[in-house]
Structure 1
């Protein structure tokens, strides 16, 4: 049986899609058995932890807990609740929970102009942040570890610039300008909290400050901090603003640092906590995954709009966590047995759980806890007893739950009658539970490669069909009438040199030529290219430029082809159309031009007049669109006659 051309094309497309999906699923797989690949090292480490912690009982020893807050975005222009409720968090929440550490993982201030597009450091916002922490006295009760986010780095010429207010108004800024480490030796646990500052230097204005960059110096500092943490602590909690998917190591020198590999190379590494992605506007509230090296990566929803914070705990070598909305009480975290999704074989002494004597629950409220109850069947409820706040315990028989996934249900009630009801899956044999696929994609892929792939694909979509159609001698065939008409219009358009070459040459220009030249930082001229940014004699390989260019291709350049094809049809077959009907025929171009003007206006607000004037990507493309539209509507009659003859040719 002879396959048709359409069938062959479909098979080729299916093959490419299948290969792509197979590679994608392999990259984001979380069932990768780190423990088996590193069995000897894993056995030695967990054996060491097992000897250190011995047995999980009802004692409060070998237990610490900490808090994380991220993307606070203190702003003097919008949402005063961010400031007032952040003050409540420091005054009440932190003091109620009494953690060993509070991690503030970046974007401490908003640093955005009143129009929400311009960006620069605002001293008043930093003063608010500083005063709230100082007046609350929170640093007297706990250790506050803050680190910069991309908003805290907007429009900063250098790390030592006067406008880098993090140095003077944060808690850690005076002592630690960038990455640093803090050791906690408390209650029988030695834990290192290692902060990664991946803010680029210099710090551009938004939006070209989305991806974090680790230069060679910072890579070496992080490696030294990690080596020190391994000698001084049993557990390493890594924290930073950017997810690992949004951190790009500079590769000017070899060897360069693979951050995920570095984090995973130490068995003491259990988790990397971060912010930055804001749970994708709430679409991915549980943005958690387990990286290939067997440790957890946990993105925390923002304080800015959602008022989220995180409680994390290390209990007898096991890491547990829960994310909670501000002012929602009681707060409950079950530490033994830990949640089945987040077990880390080879990094935790999981062999202690089947031998443990007690279920362990941390319960907090801003009033007295009235009762803590648990059950396995939602029928026979057992009361848990308080050993020492906040730890509640209950005897159990773990040998009854040795196979598969089981569920424990916990109900906590406080004196105001507020209840927290927890459905807690657990396993004693290492049975796996899956992470959400959207979270795995966002945290396990490389954002820079994704942005490049999107840009490259859209570039091909913009150029390839036009080139292929131009090479065809006869009109393209298609079964459906509408599709056939659209293809014919674009085929005719591809035959017009004065339209075809400007479209193709502009698309070819985008990957190579500058997109804008101007003040990317106050008083510093730079140039934006698809492949990075040149400023102050240095090169920043900021991959977000590809995404910025993709917007231009998706919403301007590709639609422009269809709009011009529509205008061509009007020029060839609609000469008698006048008045309001003529205006309606040109509405698609008016709409497209409006989008271009809006994008150019936004770019002007972001980077100023110089970039606006010398901006081939946003500004000059407007002139190109108007010119091509004018040329299409005013084709010479001879051109029109030839095109009409071509259109009348059989497919």
Structure 2
């Protein structure tokens, strides 16, 4: 049986798709053999924790809890509720929960202009942040660990620039200009909180400030901080603004620094908490995964729009957390038994759960807690008692739950009747619940590589079909009439030298030539390329440029081919069309031109007049589109007849 070309093409496509999916699933796999590969180290680490903490009972010792807040985006131009409710968080929430410390993981201020496109540090926003923390007295009762995000780095020439207000108006900026470690030794638990500042230097204005960069100096700093944390603490909590998928490490010699490898190389590392992605606008509210090295990575939804914060605890060496919306009470966190999805074999003494005597629950409210009850069947309920502070305990018989996945139900009621009911899955034999696919993709892939792949795909989609159609001597065929009609028009377009060469050469220009020359930082002129940015005698390999170029290829370059082919059809086959009918025929081009003007206008607001004038990507493409459109409508009549004859050739 002889296979047709279409069948062979389909089989090849399916094969490539299968290979792609297999590689993707391998990258985002969480059921890896990390613990088996590091069994001895894991056993030694957990045995030491077992010996230190002993049995999990009803004692208030060996437990600490802390809070995280991220992407506050204090702004003087929009949403004053961010400021007033952040004041409430410091005045009320933190005082009520009494955490050992608070992690503020970047984007402390908004640093965006009134038009929402321009970006620069706004001193008044930093003063608001500073005064709220100072006047609330929160730092008198707890440790406040803040670190910079990309918004806190907009338009900053150097760390020592006057505009780097983090140095003077944050809590930790006075002591730490970038990454640092804080050792917390409290209530029998020794934890190192290691902050990662991946803000690039210099800090560009938006949008080319989306990916974090670790230069060689910062890589060395992190290695030293990690060694210090290993020496002084039993547990390491890593925190920063950018997810690891959005951090690029510059190469040292021929070897690239691997941040996830560094985090995972210590058995004490339990979790990396971050922000930045804003839960993808609320579409991915539980952006959690377990990295291949066996530690958790947990992105926290933003304060900016969603008013989210996180409560986390380490109880007898076991890490637990819950994310909560501001002013939503009661707040409940089960610390024993641990949630089955987030168990970290080899990093936590999980065997203590099976030997424990008591269920342990942290419960908070803005008023007094009245009752805390638990059940395993939703029918018979056991009342928990107060062990001390917010810790509630209840005796249980863990041997009844040794095999498989089980569910515990918790009901907490406060004195004014507010109630929360939660379902808590747990297991004592290592049975796990899978992480959702979307968070794994967002947190486990390399964002820079994804941006490059999208750009390369769109570039090929703009060039290869035109080249193939130009090489084809007869009109292409397609089963569906509409598809065949469109293909024939693009085929005719590819035969016109004055149209074909400018379109293809402009597309090929995008990965190589400069996109814009302008003042990317106040007082400093830089050049933007697809592969990075050159400014201030520095090269920034900012991968977000690929995504920026992808927008041009997807919404300008590709539609331009179809629009010109549509105009060509009218010019060749309906040359007598005039007046209002011709105007209607040009509506798609007018719409496309409007998009180009809008993109160029946004670019002008972001980077100024110089970048607008010397901007081949955004501004000059407008003139190219107009020129090609003009060439279509002014094709000589004899040339139109030649194209019409070509179209009449049999397929």
* Length-normalised TM-score, structure 2: 1.00
Pair 1:195 & 2:198 matched: no
Q: Distance in 1 between matches of 2:605 and 2:576?
A: 43
Q: Distance in 2 between matches of 1:225 and 1:409?
A: 41
Pair 1:37 & 2:37 matched: yes
- Cα RMSD for the two superposed structures: 0.6
**Contact 1:526–1:534 under 8 Å retained in 2:** yes
Pair 1:533 & 2:533 matched: yes
**Contact 1:111–1:122 under 8 Å retained in 2:** yes
Q: Distance in 2 between matches of 1:618 and 1:179?
A: 37
The residue aligned with 1:518 is 518
The residue aligned with 1:181 is 181
Give the stretch that moved more between structures: 575-584 or 332-341.
575-584
* Equivalent position SS for 2:519: strand
Q: Distance in 1 between matches of 2:543 and 2:575?
A: 47
Cα-to-partner distance string for 1:441-460 (whole Å, 9 max, x where unaligned): 00000000000000000000
Q: Distance in 1 between matches of 2:414 and 2:84?
A: 25
Q: CA deviation at 1:633?
A: 1.1
* Equivalent position SS for 1:627: helix
Q: CA deviation at 1:249?
A: 0.4
The residue aligned with 1:548 is 548
Q: Distance in 2 between matches of 1:183 and 1:502?
A: 61
Q: How does 1:69-218 map to 2 (within 5 A)?
A: 69-218=69-218
Q: CA deviation at 1:577?
A: 1.5
Q: Distance in 2 between matches of 1:326 and 1:81?
A: 12
Cα-to-partner distance string for 1:342-371 (whole Å, 9 max, x where unaligned): 000000000111110000000001100000
Q: How does 1:241-252 map to 2 (within 5 A)?
A: 241-252=241-252
Q: Distance in 2 between matches of 1:575 and 1:470?
A: 24
Q: Distance in 1 between matches of 2:381 and 2:629?
A: 74
Cα-to-partner distance string for 1:458-502 (whole Å, 9 max, x where unaligned): 000000000000000111011110000000000000000000000
The residue aligned with 1:280 is 280
The residue aligned with 2:431 is 431
Q: CA deviation at 1:187?
A: 0.5
The residue aligned with 2:378 is 378
Q: How does 1:217-236 map to 2 (within 5 A)?
A: 217-236=217-236
**Contact 1:525–1:536 under 8 Å retained in 2:** yes
The residue aligned with 1:389 is 389
**Contact 1:31–1:432 under 8 Å retained in 2:** no
The residue aligned with 1:588 is 588
* Equivalent position SS for 2:413: strand
Q: Distance in 1 between matches of 2:475 and 2:283?
A: 45
Pair 1:631 & 2:628 matched: no
The residue aligned with 2:557 is 557
The residue aligned with 1:352 is 352
* Equivalent position SS for 1:409: strand
Q: Distance in 1 between matches of 2:236 and 2:257?
A: 18
Pair 1:298 & 2:293 matched: no
**Contact 1:311–1:321 under 8 Å retained in 2:** yes
Q: Structure 1, unaligned stretches of length 5 or more? A: none
The residue aligned with 1:649 is 649
* Equivalent position SS for 2:297: strand
* Equivalent position SS for 2:125: helix
Cα-to-partner distance string for 1:408-430 (whole Å, 9 max, x where unaligned): 00000001100011100001011
Q: Structure 2, unaligned stretches of length 5 or more? A: none
Q: Distance in 2 between matches of 1:299 and 1:517?
A: 35
**Contact 1:369–1:415 under 8 Å retained in 2:** yes
Q: How does 1:491-506 map to 2 (within 5 A)?
A: 491-506=491-506
Give the stretch that moved more between structures: 570-579 or 385-394.
570-579
Q: Distance in 1 between matches of 2:271 and 2:196?
A: 13
The residue aligned with 2:334 is 334
Q: Distance in 1 between matches of 2:124 and 2:596?
A: 35
Q: CA deviation at 1:252?
A: 4.9
* Equivalent position SS for 1:305: coil
* Equivalent position SS for 1:482: helix
Q: Distance in 2 between matches of 1:389 and 1:338?
A: 20
Q: Distance in 2 between matches of 1:280 and 1:301?
A: 8
Q: CA deviation at 1:254?
A: 4.6
* Equivalent position SS for 1:79: coil
Q: Distance in 1 between matches of 2:168 and 2:257?
A: 30
Q: Distance in 2 between matches of 1:595 and 1:78?
A: 26
The residue aligned with 2:365 is 365
**Contact 1:28–1:440 under 8 Å retained in 2:** yes
Q: CA deviation at 1:253?
A: 3.2
**Contact 1:95–1:138 under 8 Å retained in 2:** yes
Cα-to-partner distance string for 1:490-533 (whole Å, 9 max, x where unaligned): 00000000000000100111000000001000010000000000
**Contact 1:270–1:319 under 8 Å retained in 2:** yes
Cα-to-partner distance string for 1:12-51 (whole Å, 9 max, x where unaligned): 1000000000000000011112111101111111111111
Q: CA deviation at 1:255?
A: 4.2
Q: Distance in 1 between matches of 2:184 and 2:420?
A: 30
Cα-to-partner distance string for 1:323-357 (whole Å, 9 max, x where unaligned): 00000000000000010000000000001111100
* Equivalent position SS for 1:319: strand
**Contact 1:216–1:253 under 8 Å retained in 2:** no
The residue aligned with 1:46 is 46
The residue aligned with 2:452 is 452
The residue aligned with 1:61 is 61
The residue aligned with 2:609 is 609
* Equivalent position SS for 1:467: helix
Q: Distance in 1 between matches of 2:322 and 2:33?
A: 25
Cα-to-partner distance string for 1:128-179 (whole Å, 9 max, x where unaligned): 0000000000000000000000000000000100000000000000100000
The residue aligned with 2:488 is 488
Q: CA deviation at 1:195?
A: 0.1
Q: Distance in 2 between matches of 1:255 and 1:41?
A: 26
Q: Distance in 2 between matches of 1:489 and 1:314?
A: 66
**Contact 1:490–1:561 under 8 Å retained in 2:** yes
* Equivalent position SS for 1:323: strand
**Contact 1:216–1:256 under 8 Å retained in 2:** no
Pair 1:266 & 2:257 matched: no
The residue aligned with 1:309 is 309
* Equivalent position SS for 1:90: helix
Q: Distance in 1 between matches of 2:353 and 2:571?
A: 77
* Equivalent position SS for 1:626: helix
4+ residue stretches of structure 1 with deviation over 2 A?
Answer: 252-256
Q: Distance in 1 between matches of 2:179 and 2:229?
A: 13
